[in-house]
Structure 1
Amino acid sequence: MTNGTRTRIGWTDLPDHVRVAVEEILGDRVVVAVSQHGGFSPGTADRVRTAGGGRAFVKAVSPAQNDRSPHMHRSEALVAAALPSGTPAPRLLGSYDDGDWVALVFADVEGRHPATPWDADELAAVLSTLEAMAAALTPAAVAAAPTAAERLAQDFAGWRRIAEDPPADLDPWARTRLPELHAAAERGLAALAGETLCHLDIRADNLLIGPDGTVSVVDWPWACRGPAWLDSLLVLVNVQVHGGHDPEVLLRARPLTAGADPAGVTGVLAGLAGFFLDAARQPPPPGIPTVRAFQRLQGDALLPWLARRLP
């Protein structure tokens, strides 16, 4: 599990007019708000209860916390409003946007994040849910969503940037394979064609396991159109990071990833590794001090997997 942001604001930190707008969406007065841990947004992430006993999840942010976060909330509002009813995601009850503050109000989903290292039963439930979700979201429910290649083109150029200015602590294996890693990442970008609506940020802290074992997928700002196997691959990246299972075995065992082009999968893993390692050496974004360490953790974890696939 990630530690996420340590500077998150809470419900009581919101301006009065934002809280009033949220209460208008809920149709009742908020009497209890409990901040939730995990994730990296510096904005609010509160489970709230109203005077009449209603429950919801509220997230709100302004440029004062992070200048990119309001745009992400606006993107998520568009995606969440368009998701089909059968999508395993919380239902958007409403949103508020005054040009400064953006607030999203979701139906509250009872649940907890999966255990890490990953538990076998929870992992199987997550992978089955992602496979069913891919089927339900093909063709993409948000036709205007960007393609995965458009979302990731800049990120997948990470190895090129690393080759131009290699860090002193770059892994020796990666240092000797920089041209090959860059070429693999370009192949990965080309492999991202598809018409499935992909979440693109699947990891343990963006998943909830309900009391009955059902899985909900939360936080959709990066949704894009890509191959049906992409979200399943991303959860296997999280397995590689946190441990518990061999992701290569799972890759071959699950129907979506088993049918994916092996060179394309290797390329996507290479592109992600280059992105994580390049981004990790940048200054932390305002209000999100822990994200660079998590990116480094992910990049370092992917290199042994890549070494298995690029002997």
Structure 2
Amino acid sequence: MATERMAFDDLPPAVLAGVESHAGEIVKAEMVSQGFNSEIAARVFTANGAFFVKGLRADHKRVWTQRREAEVNPFLRGIAPALRWQTEDAGWVLLGFEALNGHHADYSPGSPDLPKVADVLSRLGEVGCPDIELRHMEQRLERYAAKPSDLAHFAGNSLVHTDLNNENVMVDGPAYLVDWAWASRGAAWLDAAYWVVWLMAAGGHDPQSAERWAGRIPAWQTAAPEAVTAFALATVNVWEEIAGEDPDPWTAGIRDASRRWAEHRKAA
């Protein structure tokens, strides 16, 4: 469920003063409509430059995602925008990232963004998992696997993003992965597999086309075919639960893409 968004300028004066102590005098702020996990999401222009600022109230049930992003960011140089500052004032937790000037990745067939996304996922696959608290993928997918023995396929010691929605991929020259709220520890090939579903949901990609793009990511080659099939079956169960009885068109599109991929894997 999306978190209700509020305007940056409506933050308490003490919070805005805390931002200025890190970022310089605030000149203006522009709300960002994308994203579901933050109460505050804005491009903030200050005397010291521009920042992307996201935040939650300190008592919000998902405030742990803010701290997770802060902890994981130092390990993602060149993969995610750098975290420039963080502040916790007057009941709010805010993160200030370097502001990118690009666009959300276009996943449609023939898009020049696709090789860039494959490149950033390839580089992520080389990152060892940092020694911080992270959920394990075999735990996250435990309720959704077709059978308990499938869970071993998802275990690993790589840092995985797990939310390859195109709005979480910014292209500003190269591609960058943003919104690390659901970062986890697992098999290195999992993000390539997540990408398959989002490519199909974007339209124009059939399962074979989407898997060819995933095949450009070296970690994908480390996954046994039965492991990929196990993941596809778990993923369709995830999206069936999210969609429920009466999904909105966006959610229904992702659910339907996951269904098509699972059927393709079962028939292969």
Q: Shorter-chain TM-score category? A: 0.7 to 0.9
- Which secondary structure state, in structure 1, belongs to the residue aligned with residue 182 of structure 2? coil
Structure 1 residue runs without a partner (length 5+): 158-181, 284-290
Q: 2:211 aligns with which of 248, 253, 267?
A: 248
CA distance in 2, matches of 1:24, 1:99: 14
Q: Deviations over 1:129-178 (max 9, x none)?
A: 1111211x12x124432322223334x26xxxxxxxxxxxxxxxxxxxxx
Counterpart for residue 24 of structure 1: 21
Quick one: structure 1 residues 152 and 17, their matched pair in 2 at CA, closer, same or farther if it must change by over 3 Å?
Answer: farther
Quick one: structure 1 residues 6 and 59, their matched pair in 2 at CA, closer, same or farther if it must change by over 3 Å?
Answer: closer
Q: 1:68 aligns with which of 45, 61, 80?
A: 61
Q: Does 1:226 align with 2:210?
A: no
Counterpart for residue 192 of structure 1: 154
Q: Deviations over 1:156-212 (max 9, x none)?
A: 26xxxxxxxxxxxxxxxxxxxxxxxx33xx4542211111111111220101001x3
Q: Shift of residue 99 of structure 1?
A: 8.2
Q: Shift of residue 94 of structure 1?
A: 1.9
Listed as ranges, the matches of 1:256-275 within 5 Å are: 256-275=219-238
Length, aligned pairs only: 264
Contact 2:104 2:168 in 1 (8 A): yes
Q: Does 1:279 align with 2:239?
A: no
Amino acid at match of 1:88: I
Amino acid at match of 2:22: I
CA distance in 1, matches of 2:63, 2:134: 18
What percentage of aligned pairs have identical amino acids?
Answer: 28
- Which secondary structure state, in structure 1, belongs to the residue aligned with residue 125 of structure 2? helix
More strand by share: 2
Listed as ranges, the matches of 1:114-193 within 5 Å are: 114-135=105-126, 137-138=127-128, 140-154=129-143, 156=144, 182-183=146-147, 186-193=148-155
Quick one: structure 1 residues 6 and 196, their matched pair in 2 at CA, closer, same or farther if it must change by over 3 Å?
Answer: closer
Structure 2 residue runs without a partner (length 5+): none
Amino acid at match of 1:29: E
- Which secondary structure state, in structure 1, belongs to the residue aligned with residue 213 of structure 2? helix
Superposed CA RMSD in Å reads 2.6
